[in-house]
Amino acid sequence: MARLADATPVILPTLISDDFLLNPKVLASKLNEKSRLLILCSPSNPTGSVYPKKLLEEIADIVAKHLRLLVLFDEKYEHIIYPPAKHISFASLPGMWERTLTVNGFSKVGTRDQCNTGQLLEHPFESKSGDDLDINEISDGEQEGQENDRLQQQSKNVESELANLRNELISSKSEKENLVGKLKMALAELDSAKASINRMNKGSLKLNEILENQ
């Protein structure tokens, strides 16, 4: 988006050792007379990092030294936050109200992921440029609803397939148990038959001995 506006984006690295928060020294080293917009996000997505007030004040002091620099502060996750972290709006800092473009929305706080409606809060001095920028982006609600229905139906189909598979496994297990039972019975009958044959053979031998002795 920056390049579409004929701007050159400058990525400021953040480190895990800093909890993925912007280091003021790094910021100061990257700013120059051509810098126009600093983009910050707090609470941050996806790290969840929250800028403490002291760190924001240090950043504000640096911003104040660059008179043509504005701050785009994304605070869409302001209500998804856990103690002891506290959300601080950059525009609430001394001298930053007129330098801050605050971005927020309704999808996160209202858990309405398909409600892509947001708002831009800015100083009246900047509002004229905002009025000139008319952004109309309407998602196809009907298409999203159809996609949602399709996914729900797909989920039901998967659940049905799993249920059928489970029943087949249960049926297979039952058939296997029956087969094993029949096999055991057949082996038992075979053992019994072998025992009977052995007894008969022993009886025949004794009869032959008796006849020979007579």
Spell out the long-range contacts of 101-108 with Cβ–Cβ below 8 A and sequence spacing 24 or more: 101/70, 101/71, 101/72, 101/73, 101/126, 102/73, 102/75, 103/72, 103/73, 103/74, 103/75, 103/76, 104/75, 104/76, 104/78, 105/76, 107/76, 108/76, 108/77, 108/79, 108/80
Residues 7-50 pLDDT 10s? 899 999 999 999 999 999 999 999 999 999 999 999 998 899 99
pLDDT surpasses 70 at 128:
no
pLDDT score recorded for residue 144: 59
Higher pLDDT, 104 or 115: 104
pLDDT surpasses 60 at 169:
yes
Q: What domains are there in the chain, each with its CATH number?
A: 3-132 (3.40.640.10)
Q: Give the C-alpha separation, 102 to 76, whole Å.
A: 9
Closest CA to 127 of 100, 106, 104: 100
Residues 48-86 pLDDT 10s? 999 999 999 999 999 999 999 999 999 988 888 888 999
134: confidence class by pLDDT, cuts 50, 70, 90:
low
